[in-house]
Amino acid sequence: MSSSSPVPSFWHRPMVARRADEQHRASTMLELFFDLCFVAAVAQAASAFEHELAAGRIGHGVLGYAMVFFAIWWAWMNFTWFASAYDTDDVPYRLLTLLQITGALVLAAGAADALEHEDFTVITWGYVIMRLAMVTQWLRAARSDPGRRRTCLNYAAGIFLVQIGWVVRLALPGSLGLVTFAVLVLAEIAVPALAERKTTTTWHPHHIAERYGLFTLIVLGESITAATGAVRTALDTHAELGDLAALVVGGILTVFALWWLYFAQNAPQLLTSLRTALLWGYGHYFVFASAAAVGAGLALNVAHTAGHGHISDRTAAAAYTVPVAVFLTLVRLLHHRSASLGRAANILHPAAVLAVLAATFTPSPILTTGIITALLIATTLLLTARDAAAHETGLSDGSGEPAS
């Protein structure tokens, strides 16, 4: 009898593709831990964005925030889609995922310098750490999945080459910073489309929708946390309680409404092809970025009410209303095919977006925005109930159509 014992399966499993129709495919504890650590980077980016706006550097702050948030979003998104297809949950997979989390924490540490001082050194190295870990994951998948080996190798090669570009960018003159950033962003975005031209990976629609939903949930929660800290600071400076109450009520109503609106959709039914999945996944850059910016805008308005910052009332209001309008617009565009309200939604949502932007010019823009978004949800519920009642009436009279 042999004295050697088999290696436990959790130490190493072949990285074969998971089925796209796998039953009960839910997010793992490691994925949730991954998300929570990434939110540290989101919080740092949002905080630095708030400081730039408060200092009156609006254009600089918006551009820097967009650049920093790309690094956060793209690294998160690439891992999410890979894990949907190749999560083996063995020791090498866990260690490589933890290495990506380490990179995310390095990225978080460099977010403020990148946004405020255009120093991308720390954030670039954090990003490269995450992406090289993904290269290793794709090489593992290429070894264990012969049917998709070419796709996996294309991913590994594409990601690796772009990382060389990011490192080289650090040595280039500052005048080329924005141009090289744009070129490398386009290269990053092109990798999935090019890698999966012939053979696609087996990502799971319900799992992907859940992962995006959970990250949206966490980012919205971070917005509440940021605003809570700002209110605490404002109370310490003896700000007017009436003004703070309007901000708090309006902020809570808004975030609750954004949550309700996002999760009222049936996202999995949209993810039926690589093209629609890429559009849906890429569009979430603006969903995530605007959700985090809502928290930054709310915190900025609290500080402005307490007498801090160097911006006008309208600028402070726009820092909140514009991200809310962007969120409403993108959720509608990304999920319009899953909406059940038909023509009513085509009028209702644009009207709500315009009303939110108009709230910028009202005496209490945050509270007004909260009321508008709450009314949007209430009206949507009433229209849904009306359509459901009409449908039941049509079925009951045997016509299959709503009764006249």
Instruction: Write the CATH number for 271.
Output: 1.20.1410
161 lies in the same domain as 275: no
CA 115, distance to chain mean position in Å, is 18
pLDDT of residue 402: 47
The answer to whether residues 185 and 226 belong to one domain is no
- pLDDT, position 245: 81
Query: Who contacts 143 (Cβ-Cβ below 8 Å, separation ≥6)?
Result: 15, 149
Q: 110 and 184, same structural domain?
A: yes
Amino acid identity, residue 21? Answer: D
Q: Which residues span the domain enclosing 288?
A: 208-396
**For 6-120, where are the alpha helices, taking DSSP H only?**
29-54, 58-86, 91-117
402 within some domain: no
Are 125 and 244 within one domain?
no
Q: Determine, yes or no, domain membership for 14.
A: no
Tens of pLDDT along the chain (404 residues)? 444 555 556 787 788 888 878 888 888 999 999 998 888 889 889 989 988 998 888 998 999 999 999 999 999 999 999 999 998 888 999 999 999 999 999 998 998 888 888 899 999 999 999 999 999 999 999 999 998 999 999 999 999 999 999 999 999 988 888 999 999 999 999 999 899 888 888 888 888 989 999 999 989 988 778 777 767 766 666 666 777 788 888 888 999 999 999 988 777 777 777 778 888 889 999 999 999 999 999 888 888 877 776 788 899 999 999 999 999 999 988 876 555 555 666 788 899 999 999 999 999 999 999 999 999 999 888 887 776 676 677 665 555 554 44
CA-CA distances (angstroms) from residue 298 to 193, 236, 323, 361? 37, 17, 10, 16
Identify the domain boundary among 201, 225, 255.
201
Which domain-ending residue is among 201, 230, 248?
201
pTM of this structure: 0.86
Give the C-alpha separation, 111 to 387, whole Å.
Answer: 47
Specify whether 340 is located in the same domain as 233: yes
- How far apart are the C-alpha atoms of 169 and 153, rounded to whole Å? 24
Which is nearest to 222 in space by CA: 280, 299, 122?
299
In a domain, 17, yes or no: no
Residues 373 and 227 in one domain: yes
Are 197 and 275 part of one and the same domain? Answer: no
364 within a domain of the structure (yes/no)? yes
Same domain, 181 and 221: no
Tokens of 185: 């962003």
State pLDDT tens for residues 304-314.
877 776 788 89
Q: What's the domain count of the chain?
A: 2
* 213 touches 30 (CB < 8 A): no
- pLDDT on residue 403: 46
Q: What is the pLDDT of residue 333?
A: 86
Single out the residue in 136, 168, 201 at which a domain terminates: 201
- Cβ neighbours of residue 294 closer than 8 Å, sequence gap 6 or more: 220, 223, 254, 255, 258, 320, 323, 324, 327
Same domain, 139 and 175: yes
Residue 390: partners with Cβ closer than 8 Å, 6 or more residues away: 402, 403
pLDDT at 204: 87
Verify that 102 and 155 share a domain, yes or no.
Answer: yes
Residues found in the chain: 404
Domain-located, residue 6: no
pLDDT of residue 337: 56
Are 90 and 115 part of one and the same domain? yes
Query: Could you tell me if residue 170 is inside a domain?
Result: yes
Q: Would you state the pLDDT for residue 372?
A: 96
CA distance 101 to 269: 30
Q: Do 308 and 383 fall within a single domain?
A: yes
- Residue 8: its pLDDT value, please? 58
327 located within any domain: yes
pLDDT at 97: 95
Taking the C-alpha atoms of residue 244 and residue 302, their distance in angstroms, rounded to an integer, is: 7
Confirm whether 247 is domain-assigned: yes
Q: What does the pLDDT read at residue 226?
A: 73
